[in-house]
Amino acid sequence: MIPLSYYVILSAIVFITGVVGVLIRRNIIIILLSIELMLNATNINFVAFSSYFQNVVGQVFVFFALTVAAAEVAVGLAIIIALYRSKTTINVDEFQLLKW
């Protein structure tokens, strides 16, 4: 068997990649992608534990999470399009209206 810790570490690496992507990338679409990465990392975690404890609840939860992720992507893309229409850019650095 593959030890549980391998899966958890994999999940952590993917999650951290997602977080760093959200914090650093300038392209809004890439940020949205990174958010998806974070969500999928947690899904990996759920499945790994579900297999380890032979409990199907973990896998069931993944369904919910995936559904939510899909809905959220739809909304996110709609927001990005609205932003693009307002400012013709997808560079996050240029949205500074809330600056002091």
Partner 1 sequence: MEYALIPLLPFAAFLILGIFGHWIKDRAHLVAVPAVLVSFILSVITFMDVASGRHTSIPLYTWATSGDLRIELGLYVDRLTAVMLLLVTIVSSLVHVYTIGYMEGERGYARFFAYVALFTFSMLMLVMADNFLQLFIFWEAVGLCSYLLIGHWYERPSACSAATKAFIVNRVGDFGFLLGLLLVYLTFGSLEYRQVFAQAPDLAQEAFNLLRPFGGQWEVSTLTLICLLLFMGAVGKSAQVPLHVWLPDAMEGPTPISALIHAATMVTAGVFMVARFAPLYSLSPVAMDVVAITGAATMVLGATIALTQFDIKRIVAWSTVSQLGYMMMACGLGAYAAGIYHLLTHGAFKALLFLGCGSVIIALHHEQDMRRMGGLKDKMPVTYWTFVVGSLALAGFPLTAGFFSKDEVLVSAWSAGALGELLASLGLATALLTAFYSFRLVFVTFWGDSRVDPHHAGHVHEPSRTMTVPLLILAALSIATGYLGIPGFLSPAFPGSGSEGHHDSPIAFGIMAIATLMGLVGIAVAYLLYVKSPGLPDRLAQQWQQLYRLSLNKWYVDEAYDRTVVGPTIRLADRLWNSVDVAVIDGAVNGVARTIAWGGWLMRFIQSGQTQHYALGMTLGAVLILTVYLLF
Q: What is the DSSP letter of 94?
A: G
Instruction: Please compute, for residue 11, the number of CA atoms within 13 A of its CA located in the half-sphere on the CB side.
Output: 16
Beta carbon nearer to partner 1, 5 or 93: 93
Beta carbon nearer to partner 1, 2 or 98: 98
In the complex, minimum distance from the CB of residue 98 to partner 1, in angstroms, rounded to a whole number: 4
In the complex, minimum distance from the CB of residue 53 to partner 1, in angstroms, rounded to a whole number: 22
The site for partner 1 (CB under 8 A) is made up of 19, 22-24, 31, 92-93, 95-100
| Alpha carbon separation from 63 to 2, 20, 41, 51 (Å, rounded) | 24, 25, 14, 15
